[in-house]
Amino acid sequence: MTTTADDERRVEDLLAPLAAIPPVTLRPERRRAPGRTWRPLLVGFACLAGVVAAGGAIVTAGRDDGAPRPATSDPAPVVTATLAETVRPAIELTAIEVVGPRVEFVGNADVFEATVQVRLRQGGQVIAETFVTATCGSGCRGTFEGSIDAAAGVDGPATLELFTISAEDGAERDLVRWDVVLAAGGWTAYPPSTDSGAFYVRRVGDLVHAALPSCVATVAIGDIEAQTTVRDDVAFVAIDPETSDILVATTRVGVEYLITVGGPVPEIAC
């Protein structure tokens, strides 16, 4: 006599190998949002004019609220569409998230051997380096995603740089830069003494930013509301300005977690 729970477990075991089947992903040319199709020649001209106007230099800028901002231009797909048929960059960033000392990024590239070099700079010094591999390269455009961590204790403005190494002469090419604000020093880990399930919170106005293990978070405290569906371990949560209570809700499992700063911390499970 088997129970429902037994059957559930058996089916999950049975289907586990399915995870090894590679997913399909959209090729960049199939990802263009309707209404974002630019007229290539005119826009190509406009982009080139912009580069000329900037003296050919990469201009970097950050926002006052500490949120990341692209150092070159908005990396949203509008750029993808703009440059698709003219001078599309070898590397494009499509999303970026700063989680305490970690910078997470998503993008696409058509680069030699699909390898994108990644580093963080602060004050001219390289403080972290890594690389990611796109799903396709050397003549075809693939997607990539990855993260890079600054060392513990490093915080403040920094620049994320993505580039390639030339196969011909070893020179750095195709540089894309993005200003970020690392927040290692100002973030507090909850629960403070465990690695698994730990997340970081930091008050930024009435919203805090948290890193959670595989959560989908929807948050509302009084008039403060934030909702986001997130990848892997990043979520926005809200803080009650009067009580400093932090609410993290995961709609996927239908459970809400109320975390009181400085008080007992409930178990986080997604």
Residues ≥6 apart with Cβ < 8 Å to 124:
none
* Binding status of residue 269 toward another protein by CB under 8 A: no
Size of the site for another protein (CB under 8 A): 49
Angle in degrees, CA 54, 55, 61, rounded to 5: 40
Residue 53 touches another protein, criterion: CB under 8 A: no
How far apart, in whole angstroms, are the C-alpha atoms of residue 61 and residue 69? Answer: 7
- Is the link from the previous residue into 213 a cis peptide, with omega within 30 of 0? no
Cβ–Cβ < 8 Å for 164, 111: yes
- Closest CB to another protein among residues 30, 55: 30
Distance CA 242, CA 126 (A): 40
Q: Which of residues 60-89 bind another protein (CB under 8 A)?
A: 74, 76-78
The residue (of 83 and 184) whose beta carbon lies closer to another protein is 83
The only residue of 95, 126, 151, 269 in contact with another protein, by rule CB under 8 A: 95
Pick between residue 36 and residue 63 the one whose CB is nearest to another protein.
36
> CA 81, CA 94: separation in Å to the nearest integer?
12
By the rule CB under 8 A, 220 interacts with another protein? no
Are 142 and 108 in contact by the 8 Å Cβ rule? The answer is yes
Q: Which of 67, 216, 224, 261 binds another protein (CB under 8 A)?
A: 216
- The C-alpha atoms of residue 211 and residue 189 are separated, in whole angstroms, by 9
**Residue 51 interacts with another protein (CB under 8 A)?**
no
Given candidates 33, 54, 126, 269, which one binds another protein under the rule CB under 8 A?
33
Binding site residues, another protein, CB under 8 A: 4, 7-8, 10-12, 14-15, 17-27, 30-31, 33-36, 38-39, 42-43, 46, 74, 76-78, 94-95, 106, 143, 216, 218, 227-231, 251-254
